[in-house]
């Protein structure tokens, strides 16, 4: 990502342990949990949440399902996906 912001935070090891997050995977795991939260709370759309998680949309659907987060696929998501599909077909 060319246009990014770096966020640094200190997390207690016991919190990571309690959340079953390894230090080796913490950046990726925290991105996924943040993306799920922002999607669940309707802060971000489905597509933007998948992007934040670092996963493709199918992987994000599977993650959301495994965590019991319902999909709220709206019209904006549909139109975004349609544009992508049209770009592939043309």
Could you list the residue range(s) of the whole structural domain that residue 63 is in?
A: 14-89
pLDDT band at 82 (very low <50, low <70, confident <90, very high): confident
- How confident is the model at residue 35, as a pLDDT? 96
Q: Measured between alpha carbons, how far is 76 from 66 in angstroms, rounded to an integer?
A: 24
Please determine, for residue 20, whether its predicted confidence score (pLDDT) is greater than 70.
yes
52 within a domain of the structure (yes/no): yes
Residue 21 covered by a domain: yes
Residue 44 inside a domain? The answer is: yes
Mean pLDDT in residue range 52-67: 93
Distance (Å, rounded) from C-alpha 46 to C-alpha 71? 8
**Residue 53: C-alpha distances to residues 14, 21, 57, 87 (Å):** 23, 15, 10, 23
The tally of domains found in the chain comes to 1
Whether 59 maps to a domain, the answer reads yes
Query: Is there a domain that residue 72 lies in?
Result: yes
pLDDT number for residue 90: 60
Give the per-residue pLDDT at 89.
Answer: 72
The answer as to whether 5 is a domain residue is no
DSSP state, residue 68 = T
């Amino acid at each position: 990502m060319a246009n990014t912001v770096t966020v640094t935070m200190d997390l207690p090891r016991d919190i990571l342990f309690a959340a079953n997050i390894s230090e080796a995977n913490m950046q990726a795991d925290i991105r996924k949990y943040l993306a799920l939260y922002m999607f669940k709370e309707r802060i971000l759309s489905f597509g933007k949440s998948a992007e934040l998680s670092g996963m493709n949309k199918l992987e994000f659907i599977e993650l959301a399902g495994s965590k019991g987060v319902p999909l709220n696929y709206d019209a904006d998501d549909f139109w975004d996906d349609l544009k992508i599909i049209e770009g592939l077909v043309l």
